[in-house]
Amino acid sequence: MNREEIRDIDKRIVKLLSERIEIYKNILKEKNRKGRISIIDLLNEIDVFLDQYGEEESGRIIKKIYNEIINSSFSQVKPLKAAYLGPEGTFTNIALNEIFGSSVEKIPKRTIREVFYEVEEGNADYGVVPVENSTEGPVTFTLDEMIETDLNIVAEKYIRISYCLLSKGGDIGNINKVYTHPQPHGQCKSWLQKNLPGVSVVYVDSTSRAAEIAADEPNAAAIASRAAGEIYSLEIAADRIEDLRQNYTRFYAMGKTENMPCGKDKTSIVCAIKDKPGALLSLLMPFSELGINMTKIESRPNKKKMWQYNFFIDFLGHKDDSVVVEALNKMMKETVFLKVLGSYRIGI
């Protein structure tokens, strides 16, 4: 195939994409007029369709292209705002871009509580927050907020986490202080002990904040993403400093809407069980009886009652599926309280 043949294919692709965008925008305008429009449901619908192309590199590229098409078309009909744990350049920022594309208006916040607040108050349509890391475990600030909030989980996203040691000069020998968020510090602890023993470690609100501070201190460094280094004009003193290469963080998108079933759903709940022998076994028995696949269970101390625990549970299926409704009804009999946090498409 020569260059002219490739150019001809490109022209046809551009023509078809332009036609698709215009037709889709008209459909969205009609849906919006009738009040039946949800960006998450639209993204889930196209993702399920694109699953046939697999998860190889070409399939992922196609999904990213369609993600931008859906999001940019949607934003022209109904502009969206999304809050996230910022500032710009955090991995939460990266997760937000993966979910909502580049067209959404991004609102960076300093804390996870502020992200929830922005959505609860209607200042943002969605909020994106980290919920757990494959190395360090749950993000407890997020779990605590989810118990109190009326927002729903509407999407999840897994992001491969790779950290750089960033500094103004890029010389590791000149570093006497490292700024970092507690989570990445835990994920890079062995590397720091081996390569920078005795160096002072200072905790800050986010990886991007660490980079921002390090940019103003000649002998300081930050543990942050490559993107943060580019934003704050820092050099890479060391790359891929995380202790484990299979290091992923799971992110939630939170909103006021509820998703329709898409056929590849996951549901999250939180509950507290009654104080009696075998209570946890009785709580989980409906999963086994009804053939529901539980994918996670996490305990978290109840801050209001000493020595009592809340259980965060994930399982496959949508909350409106008949078998899930039956399971939840049985579980409610074994709990002090049970709250459905949301049903959403299984993330990748």
203 φ/ψ angles, rounded to the nearest 5 degrees = -85, 140
251 part of the active site:
yes
Distance, in Å, from the CA atom of 15 to the CA atom of 19, rounded to the nearest integer, reads 6
Closest residue by Cα to residue 212 from 114, 128, 86, 102: 86
Name the residue with tokens 């209607």: 122
List the catalytic residue out of 251, 311, 312, 315.
Answer: 251
267 is catalytic: no
Annotated catalytic residue, options 135, 249, 267, 335 = 249
Q: Which residues of 19-54 are buried (b: 16+ CB within 10 A; e: fewer)?
A: eeeeebeeebeebeeeeebbbbbbbbbebeebeeee
**What amino acid positions are annotated as catalytic residues?**
249, 251
